[in-house]
A and B are shown apart, each in its own frame.
Chain A
Amino acid sequence: MSDTPVIALRDITKTYGESATTVHALRGVSIDIAHGEYLAIMGASGSGKSTLMHIIGCLDQPTDGQYFLDGVPVATLDSFALGVVRNRKIGFVFQSFNLIPRTTAFANVELPLVYAGVKKAERRERARSALESVGLGDRLDHTPNQLSGGQQQRVAIARAIVTNPSIVLADEPTGALDSESTAEVLDRFDGLHREGRTVIVITHEHDVAERAARVIRLRDGAVIEDVRQSGHLPSSRVGAQR
């Protein structure tokens, strides 16, 4: 692996609205995230953590500051290139699952591969194995409303990893789940981390953050704490950081 951080944020600011009603969601955030890190971003509601996640996920652009993804300044990418990045490099897991309604688990997981232009036979194979990896190999033909919350979130995880992205971004992934499903989902994130992916989890729950090797706290749009938790998930790469 190169020493270039997979994600490098430099003085990122994000403001909404004009003049008097301006809201500063982010006020100069600078973070480097190395390849293979397991990171939790914590903060109270309104601290700007979702905005940060949207910027990291290339769903939104910062008002100011620079964002390098694998060394490439994201501001220079056009909408097509951004689409490709979201498709191949980043897998999203949302609090509300965000599965396509009335569409089977299999079709949901297959969709990113459709957009990636993968051939049908390969698509089927990869979608199936992604669902099997989250323990839903027997639920391929279930639509979201036939699945429990935990199962829906596991489908969403399968969809996030089916294109084999190096980064998995999760926004309050366990916010809508009971404790048992939470454990299952978090175990999957641990697994993704072990596979060598960069896992970024946004949460306000301490037990979720505890699993991560590094925790960043935000308050009022600024980083107030950046700690590495010891005795955690001895991944070979963690020690190699800064």
Chain B
Amino acid sequence: MNFSSVTIALRGIIANKMRSALTTLGIMIGVASVIVLVGVGSGSAAASRKQLEGLGSNTLTVIAGGFGFGRGGGTQSRKVTITDADVKALEDKQNAPDIAQIVPTVNASNATAVLDGASTTPQQVQGTTPNFSSVRNYPVQYGRFFTQADYDAHANVVVVGSTVVKNLLGEQADLSSVVGKPIKIGGKTFSIIGVFKTKGSNGIQDQDNLAIMPLSTIRDTLSGNSGTVDGLTIQAANAGATTAAQSEVTSVLLAQHKNASQSDYLVLNQASLLSTQAQNNRTFTVLLGAVAGISLLVGGIGVMNIMLVTVTERTREIGIRKAIGAQHSHILIQFLVEAVLLAGIGGMLGVAAGVAGTHFRIVNVQPLVEPYAVFLAFGFAVFTGLFFGIYPANRAATLRPIDALRYE
């Protein structure tokens, strides 16, 4: 009997191809948009998570000059600097008990790297201290990171990211082959002592397009020694101490620079910023899902509309069926199965379209197929058919046979 209901319902669907296709389309769009939009939400959340992992743990980033957030939009005014004396003051446990490690960095801008005749300009060429690798979470895959001895000796050594090697030697380059080779950066010759493990993109930039050397070396060769640094990465003593460390950094810097105001130094607690962003992403995902869910609901109302039309149009048929012995339940099931089938077919097409849609980058985010979104959207589509099918089906089933038969 169940099989027969499906056959009868399928016949009803096929009989009105255009109408069924349009109704199905409504559900299909709803399901596909749920899958794609939830995918976009979780795709951007995954990107932030990756960024967070790339940062290293419990770290703060200090940038001199600050950014003109809001008004003016992102221009950097360099009226203040971070000096070597500031770094010393921050290293003082008396001033800043919650700071465990300080990694100062000095940038060399637009330094071209040349190896075996090939050249590239790494996004970042930085001088720093030996603790960079561990604090910034940049492990070395081949060779080694520079040591305190290299630092003290102002050795011309450099550790490069995998993208730099690939830009120089091609995509298929053997990363380990460059270790020990000489490389010219900004016209000076350095020896490559290591290659960083590939980190990939953090969602904003390629984290492997960099060259790192001792701070002492870069001051001798590329940046000159002005007694200042461009940025600090500060590791707090533990995860709970980042906020305390943040305020210690601010107060130490303000004590050091009497004429500076709080806004001249940007102390970013990026871990917490990113976790806030992750929170926002979740909200974003829920919001997108809800919008898509509304379109699914609208699709469901479309199913109800079509089912009501179908019931009205087939009133006489319902009368005939009742005359030859169809019970209330037979008619109810017939139209309910038809509604659920319409919604189910729409749901399946929607899943196919949605999964296909997640293969495209949308607003620079690679959407992720979330299994829960697929099952939820499909299940909701079928439920929609059931829910919005009940009213029309019940209306059909409760028709009096004589009224249905007389209907023209």
Interface residues of A (CB under 8 A from B): 54, 57, 59-60, 79-80, 83-84, 86-88, 92, 98-103, 111-112, 114-117, 159-160, 163
Contacts and interface: CB of A to CB of B under 8 A. Distances in A.
Nearest to B7: A107
A231 B65 CA distance: 121
Contacts of A60: 400-402
10 contacts: A59-B322, A59-B323, A86-B401, A87-B325, A92-B324, A100-B321, A101-B317, A103-B11, A114-B4, A115-B327
Contacts of B326: 83, 87, 115
Contacts of A83: 322, 325-328
Contacts of A92: 323-324
B320 interface: yes
B1 A80 contact: no
B15 interface: yes
Contact of A112 (B324, B328, B405): B324
B325 A88 contact: yes
B395 interface: no
Nearest to A54: B402
Nearest to B328: A79
Q: Which 3 residue pairs across A and B have the least CB separation, nearest first?
A: A87-B325, A60-B402, A115-B325
Which residue, of A57, A60, A115, has the highest number of chain B Cβ atoms within 10 A? A115
Interface of B: 1, 4, 11, 15, 316-317, 320-328, 330, 400-402, 405
Contacts of B316: 98
Contact of B328 (A80, A86, A87, A98): A80
A84 B327 CA distance: 8
A54 B400 CA distance: 12
A100 B1 CA distance: 18
A133 B326 CA distance: 24
Contacts of A159: 324
A115 B317 CA distance: 15
Contact of B15 (A102, A114, A115): A102
A154 to B, nearest CB: 16
A14 to B, nearest CB: 11
B335 to A, nearest CB: 14
Contacts of A99: 320
A208 to B, nearest CB: 21
A117 to B, nearest CB: 7
Contact of B324 (A79, A111, A117): A111
A117 B1 contact: yes
B405 to A, nearest CB: 7
B17 to A, nearest CB: 12
Contact of A86 (B11, B15, B325, B330): B325
A115 B330 contact: yes
A196 to B, nearest CB: 21
A176 to B, nearest CB: 15
B325 A116 contact: yes
Nearest to A169: B323
A86 B325 CA distance: 5
Which of A83, A103, A117 has the most chain B CB within a 10 Å cutoff? A83
Nearest to B405: A59
Contact of A114 (B1, B320, B322, B328): B1
A121 to B, nearest CB: 13
B15 A98 contact: no
A86 B402 contact: no
A159 B321 CA distance: 11
A54 B325 CA distance: 14
Contact of A115 (B324, B400, B402): B324
Contacts of B322: 59, 83, 86
